[in-house]
Amino acid sequence: MASIDFRDLAPRERYKLIVGSVVPRPIALVTSMDAAGNLNAAPFSFFNAMCNDPPAIAVGVNQSTSSSLKDTASNILQTRMFVVNLVDEALAPHMNICETEFAAHIDELEMAGLTSSPSEQVEVPWITEAPVALECNLAESVQLAEGKYIFIGIVVHMHIRDEFYDAEKNYVLADKMRLVARMHGAGGYARTTDLFDMTRLSTEEKRRRFGEKAAFRSP
């Protein structure tokens, strides 16, 4: 097994190893707005859910290719709010356009042929075409290096298409959403349609197999 000391690698080499190993990664198509009301949309795959109570997500935002602060980072630092729009197969080509580093005053949604809808609890709009959108207030920003941040957001409101939500059970029909995830390389993506089930061991089965070696919650 290869043993790789990251201290010996350039940043680009470390990046290739991380994004090639931590896969698949969900995609956050983040809408944000600056203090003047200019809207921005940009995709990030350094993203995931972090906590259920409070409901928290985290998004990692690196520098732009020009080594300047990305509009998303600048906007969130100014307004302390953002929306995470999840990406399905239909939205993916439009998301790919939003990855372009347009000038700060250019509306990525307009360039990508997308529309926005007003949010309920934050001022930043969400993407109408997204299957799920999470309105977030910024809880914490962690600066890892110059221009590189992790933003932790508390989800305060959710928008989800009716066909993906069982209101009676308060249950998301995730297998129907056809979300996509980021893989490796310049253009590697994965679909979420090739699924399998693996039932967790019951408390009784754990007790039978592991006895006093494991701690158990009350049934």
At 186-212, the pLDDT tens digits run 899 999 999 999 999 988 898 899 987
The fold adopted by the segment(s) 6-213 is Pnp Oxidase; Chain A (2.30.110)
Sequence-separated contacts (24+) of 48-56 with Cβ below 8 Å: 50/152, 54/139, 54/154, 55/154, 55/155, 56/139, 56/152, 56/153, 56/154, 56/155
Percent of the chain whose pLDDT exceeds 70: 97
Handedness of CA 50, 133, 42, 35 (dihedral sign): negative
When mean pLDDT is compared across 15-29, 52-66, 83-97, 170-184, the lowest value belongs to: 52-66
More confident call, 213 vs 208: 208
**Distances 185 to 1, 17, 81, 94, 109 between C-alpha atoms, Å:** 22, 10, 31, 19, 25
pLDDT of residue 17: 96
Residue 218 has pLDDT above 70, yes or no: no
The pLDDT of residue 162 is above 70: yes
Q: What is the pLDDT of residue 105?
A: 83
pLDDT digits (tens, 9 = 90+) for 92-102: 999 999 999 88
Position 168 scores a pLDDT of 96
> From CA 128, how far away is CA 115, in angstroms rounded?
6
Q: pLDDT band for position 213 (50/70/90)?
A: confident
pLDDT in tens, 167-177: 999 999 999 99
Question: What is the pLDDT, as a whole number, of residue 104?
Answer: 80
Which of the four pLDDT bands, split at 50, 70 and 90, describes residue 128? very high
* Residues 25-50: tens digit of each pLDDT: 999 999 999 999 999 999 999 999 99
pLDDT at 39: 95
Q: Where are the domains of the chain?
A: 6-213
Query: Which pLDDT score is estimated for 217?
Result: 62
> Is the full-model pTM beyond 0.85?
yes
